[in-house]
Amino acid sequence: MVDISVSIAGLHLRNPTMLASGVLGMSGKLLKRVASAGAGAVVTKSIGPKPRPGHPNPTFVELPYGYLNAMGLPNPGIDEFVQEIKIAKESGVPVIVSVFGQSPEEFAYVAERAEKAGASAIEVNVSCPHAEVGLIGQDPVLTREVVRSVKERVKIPVFVKLTPNVTDITEIACAAEKAGADAVTAINTVKAMYIDIESAKPVLSNKIGGLSGPAIKPIAIRCVYEIYESVRIPIIGVGGIQNWKDAVEFFLAGASAIQVGSGVIMGLNIFRDICGGIKRYLERKGFTKLREIIGLAHR
């Protein structure tokens, strides 16, 4: 039997699949359903210090090969969300709380509250492509300040979700590592736009949004590959994963675990299907542990 369990910064996962932030992560009940469907861990929607309605509709549009969104960080605020974290914890899998704020202090405050509610780890979201807080992740100095602030306040592992919307993603990954990040998650969505030719207007109310889905997988693979050569902390790969072959590609590029976001649109079976495919691949190739293939494409 092959072993596909993984350990990320001391966090033990029964398998290397996680639910990505932003998809089904707004309620404890839904997070529990995803865990029952086989995910090794779940990441919540990004939570801030106060409730936020997000952008007006349209906030989501399906495109060939991908999805474009500008939800605008809608969330109930950490006071309300504490209850959902407690419910999600009943699933028995690690619950990673994605946090954002307007300042290093706000990030740290939300992270501290999440830890007290039982979060297993924090994913610091400095990378939303169409919000001001996303600009943090384009600047190594600001990224360092936010990560330091969060690291000073919580004991649980801190992951930093990176944006591909930069010239050199390794610069930001290194800044996160230097500030004490325990892992990086790569990548958030790619800044993009869609214009309806009949109305001659951008479709999203925010005009610009973030592209996810199969269209961005080669970008995400390139980012993980580059980051792997620049930092020593683990990388969690995300971006366009739809099946086990996509997941294996991320491991070969250097990811220690993967997240599925838009892919859950195809159904929650995706987590078990990916795990089954990874096991069969490892067996066929003569490996006994998933660990043996992480970063193998760098030889």
Q: Does 46 bind ligand RRO (CB under 6 A)?
A: yes
224 makes contact with ligand RRO (CB under 6 A): no
Determine whether 275 is an active site residue: no
CB 216, min distance to ligand RRO, A: 10
In the complex with ligand RRO, which residue's Cβ is closer, 59 or 170? 59
The residue among 178 and 191 lying less far from ligand RRO, judged by its C-beta, is 191
188 binds ligand RRO (CB under 6 A): yes
Residue 189 interacting with ligand RRO (CB under 6 A): yes
Lookup: tokens for 264:
């859950």
Decide: is 231 part of the binding site for ligand RRO (CB under 6 A): no
Under the binding rule (CB under 6 A), the answer on residue 262 touching ligand RRO is no
Q: Which candidate in 128, 174, 223, 275 is catalytic?
A: 128
Nearer to ligand RRO by C-beta: 69 or 259? 69
Among 101, 210, 263, 295, binds ligand RRO (CB under 6 A): 210
Among 17, 125, 143, 262, binds ligand RRO (CB under 6 A): 125
Tokens representing 266? Answer: 């195809």
Under the binding rule (CB under 6 A), the answer on residue 128 touching ligand RRO is: yes
Active site residues: 128
- Which residues bind to ligand RRO, rule: CB under 6 A? 22, 46, 69-73, 125, 127-129, 188-189, 210
